[in-house]
Amino acid sequence: MSQLADAERNKRRLWAAVGSSHDRLVRALQIGLPLAVGALAAVLLFAPFSHRGEISFLLAKNRIEVTDQRIEVKEARYRGTDKLGRPFNLSAVSAVQRSSADPVVRMRGLIGDIMMDDGPARLTATAGRYDPTREMVMVDGRMAFTAADGYRLETGSVSIDLTTRRLSSGEPVTGQLPIGNFSADRISADLVGRTVRLSGNARLRINQGVVR
């Protein structure tokens, strides 16, 4: 029993060690979450976040389950601040690496919160995957971004390339601004250049009386 317990403790140490898949996941989220939220905020006229070196970051977790087949982090929380000192928080119901042969980390129940200049903002997604071999973060299903003063954006099948710092959606995007509503077949963003593009049947409907 003691040998089994020691083996499980060693697996946990390897899971959280520097250079491990868990460590790479934390570093990827450190880059990807603030930049992804920043890119979506940019299209809503918010200031995007800064780069990795200007962000403080902390991981907290309820427990880690280790078996021969997989490693699972329960109730993971990633907390930090951007260069302006604004706090952000990412929580996941679970983050699972199925086996050492499968490096992809699968996350479920994602919620990202950030305090913007105009109030709180939230990014939610049912599930997502991080592939450390390709440095890609994929959001499965729908993803929604909401912020103060009626800002809203919803899309799906989002991928973030952490190497090129580019974000793109595989599904239509809809959103709401203080001046009206917009929609398009796709949304893409250059997270370094801080540019966002709506492509395919892009439409903006301005509320009557807003623009004079």
Q: In terms of pLDDT, which residue wins out, 13 or 115?
A: 115
For residue 39, the model assigns a pLDDT of 42
Query: Tokens standing for 122?
Result: 């939230």
Judge whether 117 lies within some domain: yes
Q: Is residue 209 part of a domain?
A: no
Tell me how long the chain is. Answer: 212
Q: Is 179 left (phi over 0), alpha (psi -120 to 50) or beta?
A: alpha
How far apart (Å, rounded) are the C-alpha atoms in residues 22 and 2? Answer: 25
Residue 40 lies in a domain: yes
Asked whether residue 174 is assigned to any structural domain, the reply reads no
Q: What is the DSSP string of 138-163?
A: EEEEEEEEEEGGG-EEEEEEEEEETT
* C-alpha to C-alpha distance for 103 and 105, rounded to whole angstroms: 6
H-helix or E-strand containing 98?
A: strand 87-99
Residue 146 has pLDDT above 60, yes or no: yes
Number of domains in the chain: 1
For residue 85, the one-letter residue type is G
On whether residue 169 sits in a domain, the answer given is no
In this predicted structure, what is the pLDDT of residue 34?
Answer: 46
pLDDT at 196: 74
Q: pLDDT band for 175, please (50, 70, 90 cuts).
A: confident
Distant-in-sequence, close-in-space partners of 119: CB < 8 Å, separation ≥ 6: 147, 148, 149
Q: Is residue 99 part of a domain?
A: yes
55 vs 13, higher pLDDT: 13
Residue 54 DSSP one-character state: G
Question: If you average pLDDT over every residue of the chain, what do you get?
Answer: 68
- 185 confidence band (pLDDT: 50, 70, 90): very high
Express each pLDDT in 147-158 by its tens digit.
777 778 888 898
- Report the range out of 32-41, 88-97, 131-140 with the highest average pLDDT: 131-140
Question: How confident is the model at residue 123, as a pLDDT?
Answer: 80
Residue 127 has pLDDT above 80, yes or no: yes
Domain range for 85: 2-148
Residue 172 is predicted with a pLDDT of: 93
Tens-place pLDDT, residues 69-103: 556 667 777 676 766 677 777 777 877 777 777 77
Task: Please check whether residue 142 lies inside any domain of the structure.
Answer: yes
The pLDDT of residue 94 is: 77
Q: Is residue 72 domain-resident?
A: yes
